[in-house]
Structure 1
């Protein structure tokens, strides 16, 4: 199937959670979520090449630390490729080269983006034509954020976050991301959230936060979206990494319209009203946090797609 296409590169975006409402623990150990994802212009590129055996290599782009990325069978991109091969009956091992721009364990779904890009790249390499819905179903078996990495743009996620409905969004939104040299474990943050709530906690249900985010997106208003940003995991993330409270405050002091912990953290997302304002926030924060820990991006952007096929 791949005789004339020895290498395919696909790209998938990072995400930021504009809203993250965390429900109680389910019987399967996961939490029911209501979240609004936005795909942003930090990306993971995955190149797949036919090989004698399965393998993966990783490089960091723009100073991204990749020392914590596994290079064995637990690597999510490699798992995605092997899952697709197994379901499609493909017996063609590939080597995957992952170029990471998204912080590792930073709450921006970099590993899920790797998996999404690997699915798209391998599907193209092997000529499978699986389709977006089929790839998303496979992605949901790998991780809750993988389907969104495939779809991109802006969407409401429910269930574990894998059930997606697109959200009408006007215009672009401009972000500054403050990276953290130490990642946070997603299971640990969820566990801390549960601990802080205690056994008597009851889900308040719909509270208007989702509607506020959707209205801001429909209107294309950065100011309204900044006021609606919300993350139920933020308190737990800040308890585990107390310096995040200072980072959130510093971002607001630097001129950001709004500040929120991205996903389970520790990346902090700062919303601004323009690309120029984002640059101003970076300039104001650089003396405090260092230029290497700051990234600008905009959203929404498209989901995983093939960049190139090299014959």
Structure 2
């Protein structure tokens, strides 16, 4: 058996996110255009008697569970059960994706853990099997495995790769305090129930708009800025109204658009190239915000050489 395996998986931005009405099970059908970006979770897997985990990194970690609630731990246990492996693994996780920030950090941990344990235990599962296991863990896990750019439907886990050309530069502003995804969806349902004239109707069947896919295919940041949208934005802003001022600041400083990533509260500003990203990063940092420059699309979960 290999002594140690290092795997890495990316965080994501939802460059488009449309949400349907809740179903009988309470879950919402969604349509998302995901882009994997250069903010990563690293997982080192070493043999152990049981499945154990330690977590480090520059982000706020107090909300990260270190037991079977952790998605990486669940991923390791699920894979072990799948292949009939009765040993354990110690997972050393280094997080740089904000916790509960709408960027899929926990899902990236799970994806990296699946890939790392698959290599450590010599399972050699095909990609389709890993994607199936990922979908059992959470809606964003399959995309963290796949990476690049993709359209997700259903709960977001039914994936179709999207042809993408070029590079998109983003400036992210992260918050110290994360947000609860169920709370954001509940707020969206309440907002829509108001049925005021300015509230868009709930889509009967969520779909990614063709202009979004065309912009991604052409590598056209301005076209993507015009087409991007996130149905959860009004709910996030109702719960975290201070983000309004942040978005206004970014747009005044020449960001082409501002998106709440997933269920927030991370805000992603799309800019035209690296120089524009640096200038916006400086302006936002000067105003007291933690601003990060990332780019996409990048590859999904993969094993790295030790």
CA distance in 2: counterparts of 1:199 and 1:130, whole angstroms: 48
CA distance in 2: counterparts of 1:285 and 1:206, whole angstroms: 37
CA distance in 1: counterparts of 2:218 and 2:76, whole angstroms: 39
TM-score, length basis structure 1: 0.94
Structure 1 segments of 4 or more deviating over 2 A? 199-209
Question: Deviation per CA, 1:171-200, whole angstroms, max 9, x where unpaired?
Answer: 000010000011000010001001111287
Whether the aligned pair in 2 keeps the contact of 1:209 and 1:228 (CA below 8 Å) is no
CA distance in 2: counterparts of 1:204 and 1:40, whole angstroms: 28
CA distance in 1: counterparts of 2:216 and 2:204, whole angstroms: 22
Whether the aligned pair in 1 keeps the contact of 2:15 and 2:228 (CA below 8 Å) is yes
- Structure 2: 5+ residue stretches without partners: none
CA distance in 2: counterparts of 1:226 and 1:42, whole angstroms: 21
TM-score, length basis structure 2: 0.95
Q: Give the secondary-structure state (helix, strand or coil) at the position aligned to 1:289.
A: coil
The aligned residue for residue 256 of structure 2 is 257
The aligned residue for residue 272 of structure 2 is 273
The aligned residue for residue 14 of structure 1 is 11
Instruction: Give the one of 9, 29, 48 matched to 1:32.
Output: 29
C-alpha displacement of 1:202: 5.8
Q: How many residues align?
A: 302
The aligned residue for residue 232 of structure 2 is 233
The aligned residue for residue 298 of structure 1 is 295
CA distance in 2: counterparts of 1:86 and 1:207, whole angstroms: 35
- Structure 1: 5+ residue stretches without partners: none
CA distance in 2: counterparts of 1:125 and 1:204, whole angstroms: 44
Instruction: Give the one of 154, 158, 169 matched to 1:174.
Output: 169
Whether the aligned pair in 2 keeps the contact of 1:106 and 1:179 (CA below 8 Å) is yes
The aligned residue for residue 220 of structure 2 is 221
C-alpha displacement of 1:254: 1.6
**In terms of mean alpha carbon deviation, does 209-218 or 262-271 score higher?**
209-218
